[in-house]
């Protein structure tokens, strides 16, 4: 649902409806506080409006979420690699690849 508000905010922004766009960016983040794209888009809009401090905070949050997601992806990838190596060591991976 956060994504829907984010997309609608982008439409409002394109139409020059700044207040509506900001409300929808806010709502997207309220619904899904870990939806980084909404923080990024809101930061870009805030920068255009001269709200540098608020834009900086949104970029900081976007960066934090991006790093967190990359870290989680790396951990999951390492887990799958470990499982595959264990299967290879037991000889099961050879059977599965045939």
Enter the pTM of the model: 0.69
**How much is the pLDDT for 65?**
87
Is 13 part of a structural domain of the chain? yes
**How much is the pLDDT for 66?**
86
**How much is the pLDDT for 67?**
78
The C-alpha atoms of residue 89 and residue 32 are separated, in whole angstroms, by 42
Is 91 part of a structural domain of the chain? no
Q: In terms of C-beta density within 10 A (0-12 exposed, 13-18 middle, 19 or more buried), how is residue 72 classed?
A: exposed
Each residue's pLDDT expressed in tens, for the chain with a length of 98 residues: 999 999 999 999 999 999 999 999 999 999 999 999 999 999 999 999 999 999 999 999 999 988 765 556 555 656 666 666 666 677 655 544 55
Is 80 part of a structural domain of the chain? no
For residue 6, the domain's CATH number is 1.25.40.10
Tell me the residue range of the domain where 19 lies. Answer: 2-72
């Amino acid at each position: 649902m956060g994504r829907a508000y984010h997309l609608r905010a982008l439409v409002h922004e394109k139409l020059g409806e700044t207040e509506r766009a900001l409300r929808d960016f806010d709502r997207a983040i309220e619904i899904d506080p870990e939806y980084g794209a909404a923080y990024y888009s809101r930061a870009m809009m805030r920068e255009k409006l001269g709200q540098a401090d608020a834009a900086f905070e949104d970029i900081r949050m976007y960066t934090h979420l991006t790093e967190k997601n990359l870290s989680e992806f790396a951990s999951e990838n390492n887990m799958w690699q470990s499982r595959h190596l264990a299967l290879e060591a037991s000889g099961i991976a050879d059977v599965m690849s045939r």
